[in-house]
Amino acid sequence: MELECFIVQNGAREIIPGRTDRDWMDAFANRFPYRCLPLTMANSTGWELIVPEDITIEWNGGHLATDITITADRPGAYVDHFVQSHFSHGIVTFHTGYLFRTPPGWALWASGAPNQVKDGIVPLTGLVETDWLPFPFTMNWKMTRPGIVHFEKGESFCFINVVEHKKLDDIQPVIKPIESDPDLKAQFETWSTSRAAFNESLVNRDPAAIKQAWQKFYHKGELPDQTEAPSDHMNRRRLKPVKMEGME
């Protein structure tokens, strides 16, 4: 399966596999948030489109497109082809430089990088039917208040992954009592008891618990009762880097 990225603009943005690291996660003692596998997997489940120049965005709070000014921090750098104020009301529009094409039934989910916090501006999320669309989409961000926001060269401005979205309409959410699945209930209760005992050991400063630091059932793909766990559990994403085709 391929995600085709057709260049439609000179200087199309660099695309890289999603990076796991986040500055706010690094700031914790012992980089504690990286122990949360759902966070790190989400961070790297997709590809990033990269900002090519340091830019400064300023919004005065007005509702006109002209109420936002965008400038390149490097003297003489040109960024109008890449980022613009187009939709007004504090919306900043980024151009990817690509027309994306996915296989039939697959769409592109475009958003900001997961768990990436940016003060003063938030990414808007879109689902695009790239299996038939013959023109590109833009990535848009919304200023949350009047002020100044910076994007640095090398930072992600768009995060994309593919989703077989039409199948979602066939999914029926069903609420059930846990008692309806005795095996699952037993696993849950085993985990709950183990979790409570481990947390109590941490509170009591038990040396073994402190050394262990956290329970690793999910990270290792282990079941609480030590029965056979699924063999296809993943704790690291290994996305393919972009390759060039038909380029001189």
Residue 213, pLDDT score: 72
The tokens for 244 are: 């060039």
Kindly state whether residue 176 falls inside one of the protein's structural domains: yes
Kindly state whether residue 129 falls inside one of the protein's structural domains: yes
Q: How many domains does the chain have?
A: 2
Kindly state whether residue 244 falls inside one of the protein's structural domains: no
Residue type, 176: K
Residue range of the domain that includes 210: 172-238
Residue 248, pLDDT score: 64
Residue 209, pLDDT score: 64
Kindly state whether residue 243 falls inside one of the protein's structural domains: no
Residue 12, pLDDT score: 86
DSSP 176: -
CATH value at residue 84 = 2.70.40.10
Report the DSSP beta bridge partners of residue 23: none
Q: Report the alpha-carbon distance of residue 224 to residue 2 in Å, rounded.
A: 38
* Contact in structure between 160 and 125 (CB atoms under 8 Å): no
Kindly state whether residue 246 falls inside one of the protein's structural domains: no
DSSP 75: T
Q: Report the alpha-carbon distance of residue 170 to residue 65 in Å, rounded.
A: 41
Same domain, 192 and 93: no
pTM across the whole model: 0.92
Kindly state whether residue 50 falls inside one of the protein's structural domains: yes
Dump strand ranges (E) for the chain. 4-7, 15-17, 47-50, 55-59, 68-72, 83-84, 91-95, 98-101, 107-111, 121-123, 126-128, 138-143, 147-151, 156-163
Same domain, 32 and 111: yes
What is the mean pLDDT, run by run of 10 residues, along the chain of 248 residues?
Answer: 95 94 93 92 98 97 97 91 94 97 98 97 98 97 98 98 96 98 92 80 72 74 80 90 84
Same domain, 145 and 191: no
Same domain, 152 and 201: no
Residue 194, pLDDT score: 80
Residue 48, pLDDT score: 99
* Residue after which a domain boundary falls, among 151, 170, 189: 170
